[in-house]
Amino acid sequence: MNENILKNLAWNAGNYMKFETERPQTWCTGCGNFGIQNALKRALVLEGFDQKNVLFCFDVGCSGNGADKIEGYSLHGLHGRVISLAAGAALANENIKVISFGGDGATFSEGPGHLIHAVRSNYPMIFVHHNNENFGLTTGQASSLTKKGAKMNASPDGVFLDPINTMDFVLGLKPSFVARGFSGDIDYLTELFRKALRHDGFAYLEVLQSCPTYNRDTPEHWYADRVKHIEDAKNYDSSDIWQARKLVEDLNDEIYTGVIFEDKSKMNFLRAIPNRKNTKTVLKDEVKRYGISEFL
Ligand code: SF4
């Protein structure tokens, strides 16, 4: 192997370790969460981030247990409430990149109201939706995204309701950035994370992932057989919301991943506030100690 390649590999490995931790692993073998977090760590390194300029905010769930597996500032919030927590942090300090994570139970059963207003407000942050189509941490109950007919632990006769089409839901809210990836397609997912990190506004990144322990209807190969890249969709224009909504209708046969929609003209919340117009300074609240006992 040539010397430059070896040097690059060593550099990447060294930097990659910036977000690694020695804490013990609790995800099941084969879980899609591994691929998601690996892609994120790679993207952060490739975009030049380190621990001091990123905040990770985790909802409750298997995705939330990712808090143990990444080194850096992190918060673990209440179920379904991570977006509001993360938005507060993002609005308080523009010098940090806020990345929040929630599963399908948290996002589309417990807390969709927070998602609606974050998209509408275009808060400057990333939300990563881990979509494994069930409540994994509580042992495999159906979520509002579980496929119709799937036999889950608390619905042994099969789910009888249609799942929410999450991508169409978000696209209906006039978003500024909507992307979808697959946990088994790590190189491509890394590039999606990089694009989300560069986006100035609310970046919604949904990642399709298998849950081999509880969701037997959609194993890794089910996705691998269906997932396609947006670059292969003929004449696709990611600035056209109606093309995007049409493209995401299909949840079962051809599932496109990539940046599905982007509106670069929409100003993020802090730029859009009328009384901050023409303000050159950034909002910044330095890390310091606060007494919180009066609130407890
Ligand atoms: Fe992953 Fe499912 Fe295990 Fe949770 S229960 S860690 S989502 S495989």
The finding on whether 28 has its CB within 6 A of some atom of ligand 1 is yes
> What's the sign of the alpha-carbon dihedral 258, 264, 270, 274?
negative
Question: Which pLDDT score, from 0 to 100, does residue 253 have?
Answer: 94
Nearest-atom index, ligand 1, CA of 65 = 6
Give distance in angstroms: CA of 198 to centre of ligand 1: 29
pLDDT along the chain (296 residues), means of 10: 62 72 90 96 94 95 94 93 96 94 94 96 98 94 94 93 97 98 97 98 97 92 96 96 97 96 95 86 78 87
How big is the CA angle at 19 (ends 85 and 287), to the nearest 5 degrees? 45
Q: What does the buried/exposed string (b/e) look like for 59-84 if buried means 16 or more CB atoms within 10 Å of the residue's CB?
A: bbbbbbbbbebbebebebbebbbbbb
The owner of tokens 């579980």 is 146
Can you read off the two tokens belonging to residue 34? 């591994």
Please report the atom of ligand 1 found closest to the CA of residue 212: 8
Residue 132 CA: nearest ligand 1 atom is 7
Task: Give residue 9's pLDDT.
Answer: 63
Model pLDDT, residue 11: 57
Residue among 113, 104, 52, 54 nearest 81 (CA): 113
Spell out the domain ranges in the chain: 40-295
Our answer on whether the CB atom of 214 is closer than 6 Å to any ligand 1 atom is yes
Sheet holding 73-76, edge to edge: 73-76, 54-58, 97-103, 125-131, 202-208, 177-182, 255-262, 227-229
Q: Looking at ligand 1, which atom is closest to the CA of residue 215? A: 2
Going by alpha carbons, the residue nearest to atom 5 of ligand 1 is 136
Distance CA 273, CA 260 (A): 27
Q: Is 126 helix (H, G, I), strand (E, B) or coil?
A: strand
Model pLDDT, residue 10? 57
Which atom, in ligand 1's list, is nearest to the CA of 103? Answer: 7
Ligand 1 nearest atom to the CA of residue 62, by list position: 4
Q: Count the neighbouring beta carbons within 10 Å of the beta carbon of residue 264.
A: 10
Residue 1: its pLDDT value, please? 57
The residue contributing the CA closest to ligand 1 atom 3 is 28
C-alpha closest to that of 102 among 152, 69, 73, 136? 136
| CB 211 less than 6 A from any atom of ligand 1 | yes
Q: Is the CB of 141 under 6 A from ligand 1?
A: no
Does the beta carbon of 33 lie inside 6 Å of ligand 1?
yes
Could you give the CA distance from residue 19 to residue 40 in angstroms, rounded to a whole number?
10
Cβ(213) to ligand 1 under 6 A? yes
Q: Is 176 exposed, middle or buried (0-12, 13-18, 19+ CB in 10 A)?
A: buried
CA 130 to ligand 1 centroid distance, Å: 11
pLDDT attached to residue 16: 66
Tell me which amino acid residue 145 is.
L
CATH architecture of 40-295: 3-Layer(aba) Sandwich (3.40)
Q: Which amino acid residue places its CA nearest to atom 6 of ligand 1?
A: 27
Tabulate helix, strand, coil % of the chain (nearest 5).
40, 15, 45
Tokens of 61: 């769930």
3-state secondary structure of 205: strand
Q: What is the pTM of this model?
A: 0.92
